[in-house]
Amino acid sequence: MIGRLNHVAIAVPDLDAAAEQYRGALGAVVGPAIDQPDHGVTVIFVELPNTKIEFLYPLGAESPIQNFLDKNPAGGIHHICYEVDDIIAARDKLVATGARVLGNGEPKIGAHNKPVLFLHPKDFQGCLIELEEV
Protein backbone atom coordinates (compact mmCIF):
# COMPACT_ATOMS: atom_id res chain seq x y z
CA MET A 1 0.00 0.00 0.00
CA ILE A 2 2.61 2.61 0.95
CA GLY A 3 4.88 3.98 -1.70
CA ARG A 4 8.03 5.99 -1.49
CA LEU A 5 9.11 8.10 1.45
CA ASN A 6 7.89 11.61 0.66
CA HIS A 7 9.56 13.47 3.55
CA VAL A 8 10.79 13.44 7.11
CA ALA A 9 9.41 16.33 9.16
CA ILE A 10 11.48 18.06 11.82
CA ALA A 11 9.92 20.52 14.27
CA VAL A 12 12.30 23.44 14.77
CA PRO A 13 12.39 26.27 17.33
CA ASP A 14 13.93 28.71 14.79
CA LEU A 15 12.85 28.27 11.18
CA ASP A 16 15.35 30.72 9.69
CA ALA A 17 18.29 29.19 11.59
CA ALA A 18 17.33 25.68 10.48
CA ALA A 19 17.04 26.76 6.85
CA GLU A 20 20.37 28.57 6.96
CA GLN A 21 22.12 25.62 8.63
CA TYR A 22 21.00 23.21 5.90
CA ARG A 23 21.69 25.75 3.15
CA GLY A 24 25.09 26.85 4.48
CA ALA A 25 26.61 23.88 6.28
CA LEU A 26 25.09 21.11 4.16
CA GLY A 27 24.75 22.91 0.83
CA ALA A 28 21.11 21.89 0.49
CA VAL A 29 18.48 23.45 -1.76
CA VAL A 30 16.06 25.09 0.68
CA GLY A 31 12.66 26.33 -0.42
CA PRO A 32 10.65 29.30 0.84
CA ALA A 33 8.59 29.38 4.03
CA ILE A 34 4.94 28.47 3.38
CA ASP A 35 2.17 29.14 5.91
CA GLN A 36 -0.33 26.30 6.29
CA PRO A 37 -3.13 27.81 8.44
CA ASP A 38 -5.30 24.66 8.24
CA HIS A 39 -2.51 22.73 9.94
CA GLY A 40 -1.24 25.51 12.22
CA VAL A 41 2.29 25.44 10.83
CA THR A 42 4.78 27.24 8.66
CA VAL A 43 6.85 24.81 6.59
CA ILE A 44 10.06 24.88 4.60
CA PHE A 45 11.07 21.99 2.36
CA VAL A 46 14.68 20.96 1.85
CA GLU A 47 15.09 19.16 -1.47
CA LEU A 48 17.24 16.02 -1.48
CA PRO A 49 17.99 13.73 -4.44
CA ASN A 50 15.74 10.96 -3.10
CA THR A 51 13.26 12.69 -0.75
CA LYS A 52 12.65 15.90 1.23
CA ILE A 53 13.09 17.23 4.74
CA GLU A 54 10.23 19.37 6.01
CA PHE A 55 10.90 21.94 8.73
CA LEU A 56 7.82 22.66 10.86
CA TYR A 57 7.38 25.83 12.87
CA PRO A 58 4.30 26.89 14.88
CA LEU A 59 1.83 29.20 13.15
CA GLY A 60 -0.23 30.72 15.94
CA ALA A 61 -0.70 29.92 19.61
CA GLU A 62 -2.89 26.86 18.96
CA SER A 63 -0.35 25.11 16.75
CA PRO A 64 0.20 21.42 17.55
CA ILE A 65 3.87 22.04 16.76
CA GLN A 66 4.07 24.46 19.70
CA ASN A 67 2.96 21.60 21.98
CA PHE A 68 5.71 19.42 20.49
CA LEU A 69 8.33 22.15 20.99
CA ASP A 70 7.16 22.75 24.57
CA LYS A 71 8.06 19.11 25.27
CA ASN A 72 11.16 19.14 23.01
CA PRO A 73 12.61 22.70 23.14
CA ALA A 74 15.51 21.86 20.81
CA GLY A 75 13.10 20.43 18.23
CA GLY A 76 13.25 16.96 16.71
CA ILE A 77 11.72 14.53 14.26
CA HIS A 78 7.97 15.03 14.29
CA HIS A 79 6.65 12.63 11.61
CA ILE A 80 7.41 10.72 8.46
CA CYS A 81 5.31 10.91 5.31
CA TYR A 82 4.64 8.07 2.89
CA GLU A 83 3.00 8.34 -0.50
CA VAL A 84 -0.14 6.36 -1.36
CA ASP A 85 -2.00 6.06 -4.65
CA ASP A 86 -5.51 6.30 -3.14
CA ILE A 87 -5.77 7.96 0.28
CA ILE A 88 -9.38 6.89 0.88
CA ALA A 89 -8.64 3.23 0.10
CA ALA A 90 -5.52 3.42 2.30
CA ARG A 91 -7.52 4.98 5.14
CA ASP A 92 -10.28 2.39 4.91
CA LYS A 93 -7.81 -0.51 4.90
CA LEU A 94 -5.92 0.92 7.89
CA VAL A 95 -9.08 1.59 9.88
CA ALA A 96 -10.19 -2.01 9.18
CA THR A 97 -6.92 -3.21 10.76
CA GLY A 98 -7.54 -1.08 13.87
CA ALA A 99 -5.35 1.91 13.04
CA ARG A 100 -6.61 5.30 14.17
CA VAL A 101 -6.76 8.30 11.85
CA LEU A 102 -6.30 11.62 13.62
CA GLY A 103 -8.82 14.43 13.31
CA ASN A 104 -12.18 13.67 11.77
CA GLY A 105 -10.78 10.95 9.51
CA GLU A 106 -11.21 12.98 6.34
CA PRO A 107 -8.20 14.09 4.29
CA LYS A 108 -7.05 17.70 4.39
CA ILE A 109 -4.99 19.44 1.74
CA GLY A 110 -1.33 19.41 2.74
CA ALA A 111 1.68 21.57 1.91
CA HIS A 112 2.05 19.97 -1.54
CA ASN A 113 -1.62 20.75 -2.36
CA LYS A 114 -2.46 17.05 -2.16
CA PRO A 115 -4.75 15.16 0.25
CA VAL A 116 -3.11 14.04 3.51
CA LEU A 117 -4.06 12.08 6.63
CA PHE A 118 -2.21 11.45 9.88
CA LEU A 119 -2.15 8.13 11.72
CA HIS A 120 -1.93 7.85 15.50
CA PRO A 121 1.66 7.26 16.68
CA LYS A 122 0.55 4.69 19.28
CA ASP A 123 -0.53 2.47 16.39
CA PHE A 124 2.86 2.71 14.60
CA GLN A 125 5.65 2.10 17.12
CA GLY A 126 5.46 5.63 18.51
CA CYS A 127 5.87 7.32 15.11
CA LEU A 128 3.36 9.82 13.75
CA ILE A 129 2.70 8.81 10.14
CA GLU A 130 1.42 11.13 7.43
CA LEU A 131 -0.03 9.65 4.23
CA GLU A 132 -0.07 11.80 1.10
CA GLU A 133 -1.95 10.89 -2.06
CA VAL A 134 0.17 11.15 -5.20
Q: Given the residues 54, 83, 130, 133, select the one marked as catalytic.
A: 130
CATH of 5-133, picked from 3.10.180.10, 3.30.450.20, 3.90.480.20, 3.50.30.10, is: 3.10.180.10
Is 130 part of the annotated catalytic residue set? Answer: yes
At 61 the pLDDT is 84
Q: Bigger pLDDT: 14 or 60?
A: 14
What does the pLDDT read at residue 69?
Answer: 97
Span 118-130, pLDDT tens digits: 999 999 999 999 9
CA angle at residue 83 from 102 to 31, to 5 degrees?
Answer: 95
Instruction: Give the SS3 label for residue 7.
Output: strand
Domain spans of the chain? 5-133
Task: Find the mean pLDDT for residues 57-70.
Answer: 94
